[in-house]
Structure 1
């Protein structure tokens, strides 16, 4: 009897990080206002009042910005956010902390129940992975709502 060898085909996974700037050249975020200014400068002005988008600011241990990741783009009333994707990007970038952000095309920056639930889920997941969720900002052209500043994180 010939024993058949079981062969498993798996993809090779390689983790790399190639920063283009020195750490001291990156912006440092210490307030929600600074995060809002940075995000607003990187947001498509033609889309902020058109459709909902979700982004994440990746930070190192010194709160220097490693990058801004575009997570999802949806419609007028929502976008799908997968925590696995956010944490995969955060871990690949070796981020120590993150700031969650999305816009409300209506201009109403008050968080919805879904926004609050997602934030709680992300904070819990971050604790397990040692990635701190510093804040969740809801932005518009006219201003922003910080869940941290309002005692919700």
Structure 2
């Protein structure tokens, strides 16, 4: 049964037009993206199944691969890509909202910058925020991406980027896909290297954050800088 045979109130597109987007459930929003269901489920019912598999959590759904999404009956490559694209649009919108924060005053401010970039990644990435003397954000960039357990940053590239943007302060961050917030020996070593290199160039390492799905560890707050 396709959406067109449902009662008008149950048609996501028509409901959108009649009552507004806020009237739609998560499953109805996803149903609009996939367009149609399968021979046993309407698009809304299929969407409910997909969301239920991810604990009805958009973040958990965003962690599924295209192959994972295609395991659902009626979801081919095109629909799976459409779902992944919609989730990425939402992620990028969140990043742009956070980027309105112009000055970083503490570790939580920095965390808000990084979490939308890194909290739901399956592999480690190393990012940096470059600041001026008033701790105003000049530039944000990803420097490296690695495997499941580590991402190594080239200190020379980090400081070349800082010099290119006339930065006087740096906050770096990397994620732990495992969810473990405890810094490893490698994390501590690279933090020390960055700090010491910054002293030579008069560019201060203000903090190093470890990001997980729902929390962070701050080297500065923990007295490790």
Q: Give the one of 122, 126, 147 matched to 2:194.
A: 122
Tell me how far 1:144 sits from its aligned partner. 0.3
The structure 1 segments of at least 4 consecutive aligned residues displaced by more than 2 Å after TM superposition are: none
* Paired residue secondary structure (1:71): strand
Partner of residue 97, structure 1? 169
Is the CA contact (8 Å cut-off) linking 1:26 and 1:66 kept in structure 2? no
* Paired residue secondary structure (1:85): helix
Q: Give the one of 203, 206, 213 matched to 1:131.
A: 203
Is the CA contact (8 Å cut-off) linking 2:118 and 2:125 kept in structure 1? no
Partner of residue 15, structure 1? none
Question: Against the structure 1 CA distance between its residues 33 and 93, is the aligned structure 2 distance closer, same or farther, given a 3 Å change threshold?
Answer: same
Answer yes or no: is 1:109 the counterpart of 2:181: yes
Higher relative contact order (CA closer than 8 Å, sequence separation 6+): 1
Q: What is the TM-score of this pair, normalised by structure 2? A: 0.54
How large is the Cα RMSD of the aligned pairs?
1.3
Tell me how far 1:53 sits from its aligned partner. 0.2
Q: Which has the higher strand share?
A: 1
Distance 2:128 2:201 in 1: 16
Question: Against the structure 1 CA distance between its residues 128 and 115, is the aligned structure 2 distance closer, same or farther, given a 3 Å change threshold?
Answer: same
Number of residues of Structure 1 aligned to a counterpart in Structure 2: 126
Answer yes or no: is 1:85 the counterpart of 2:157: yes
Distance 2:127 2:118 in 1: 12
Distance 2:101 2:134 in 1: 10
Distance 1:107 1:69 in 2: 22
Distance 1:119 1:44 in 2: 19
List gaps (5 residues or longer) in structure 2: 1-99
List gaps (5 residues or longer) in structure 1: 1-24
Answer yes or no: is 1:66 the counterpart of 2:138: yes
Distance 2:120 2:107 in 1: 23
Radius of gyration: which is bigger?
2
